[in-house]
Structure 1
Amino acid sequence: MTIGIEGLLAELESEGHAGWAETLRQRAREFEHDAAHGLWSQWTQATCDLPAVEAVTADFSLPAVTLSGEISNEDQQRLREQLRLFHPWRKGPFDLFGIAIDTEWRSDWKWSRVAPHLDLRDASVLDVGCGNGYYGWRMLAAGARRVIGLDPFPLYIAQNRVVEHYVGGSAAHVLPGTDADLPKRLEAFDVAFSMGVLYHRTSPIDHLKSMLQSLRPGGKLVLETLIIDHPDSQVLIPEGRYAKMRNVWFIPSLTMLERFLSRCGFREIEVVDVCVTTTEEQRRTEWMEFESLADFLSPDQTTTIEGHPLPTRATLIASRG
């Protein structure tokens, strides 16, 4: 399963971003080489073995990314077995030809908090840490002209290829990479998303600066991240894990997060949502059978299992001046 990105890269080159296009091309080659040593070959074969479906239609405006078509009961059962090979499914939900993939995260809940505050019509969109591309499909339904998602994990890229297999060419792309692959002064996007990424970065300021420079003047950043409930400018730096996650570095208060954004050059900073993540939004399912949020909290669910404040997430929208 090769990563068919040459059409996209040609577009970027024509828009004056030849250097970044070459970086993405090289990153894809490295990914193919490295991923071949893991389960990538299994996922590649599973995608090749997906049953044919006639008269495929797609609807990305629904909570579940939905594909419909003419498929026999036998092939539907075979499809279910193939999709199980891509376990765990973390972001979604999806409905693929009558098979409901109930993912760990109800990502549609997060999308419902963001979408009313954005105008994506004809927008060029970047989604860093995009996972399997669920949000990219929803962005297209909201009118985005093109979505480029970056994620370093082979499983999520493989899951995205399953949907692409049936949809064919689309304007939503998931490529191997991170914000570290964004060049300085890229200025290629109208809207950039960073959802669930900031607290995993050893330098949140560098992450925000890279997002700023990915935007055209006047472009908007959608930032969703963990915060602590504190009225002052404070930051929680866990000594060990946070909710069993090893790679959580900085969890700022909302006041500190706004200061981060302002110091990096963002303006018109707006807080559009703050909520505590519940075990209804993130949970174990048939399609994600490993530990989930309920296992990461104290028995009475008043703190994380380590005694830290409960996971609270803020969503902010800020503009590049």
Structure 2
Amino acid sequence: MPRTLTRDAASPRRRPVLAASLLGLALAALAGGTASAQSAWPDKPVRLVTNFPAGGPLDVLGRQLAIPLQAELGQPFVIDNRPGAGGNIGADAVAKSAPDGYTVLLTIDTTLTINPHVYRKMPFAPKDLKPLMILSSSGLTLAVNPSVPASGLREFADMGKKQELTFSSAGNGSPGHIASALFASGTGARITHVPYKGNAPAVTALIAGEVQAGILATPGLLPQIQAGKARPLAVTGSQRSPLLPQTPTVAELGLKDLGFDVLYLTMVPAATPDAVVKKLQGALQHALAQPEVKQRLGTLDMVPLGETGQAAADRLEANRQRYGKIVESIGLKLD
């Protein structure tokens, strides 16, 4: 009597179908797990990397923001100071971190807009990071030693057409260095740039008379201005400084091409999921709206902005192009 053969589930004809079904289930589970992980973010502390020294404006800003961010998102925001190489060390650490929203860079725009033109070899590419938000901006103050006879910015610029002027800055490639080069190119004044290792020694050099002028961070200059040891001529920001409301902007003095805003921003690795990015942006917007944060920004000479998306990317790109021309004109290169 002939036998009836029954083909089981593992037979060759059904194996491709079974494999495809299992693969589909696996992919669905993976997608569901990924979506669940993103919706649950954050479920552990977030590291907020600042790429300039502890105690500086970035560090103070980060510690102030960490309070409302933790309150809203339910996880600690831990400050991790990674200074060095003009901000490149900290930025590189974030660019190479996992794109999961648990490592966020708090930086100034010069890391992305000046450093690529200045450093012969960058450890990361600007495209490795994407902006979350431009939090705030801050101008610099152009101040002179009281022995300088010029009473105003234009008179000081005219002095520079007759004699070499000396400017201090916080270092080669620093915002003050680039701003002083903008001053020279925009007014025709001849200057000698004298770099120091940080804003504090640059201020000390100014009040000691080692240099005639400096374009420096306003909070560090303010005590010396109040003591009459330095005289402000103008601020470079698009708005007057909250700390020096009586000092005009360069634009108000008819020299808008000398404008220079330092932008404070947060960034994440470029592959960070959009859902996490939006959650972070929302929390940052709420943090900036807090009265205590606004008050702290004022003491740091910062104006809140809250720019995100294409507007933030376009602003960074415009600065990158503008500063690149200045860097090229002065032939600045660093290893």
TM-score when normalising by structure 2: 0.30
Structure with the larger RCO, 1 or 2 (CA within 8 Å, 6+ apart): 2
Between Structure 1 and Structure 2, whose CA radius of gyration is higher?
2
Task: Give the structure with the higher percent helix.
Answer: 2
Task: Give the structure with the higher percent strand.
Answer: 1
TM-score when normalising by structure 1: 0.31
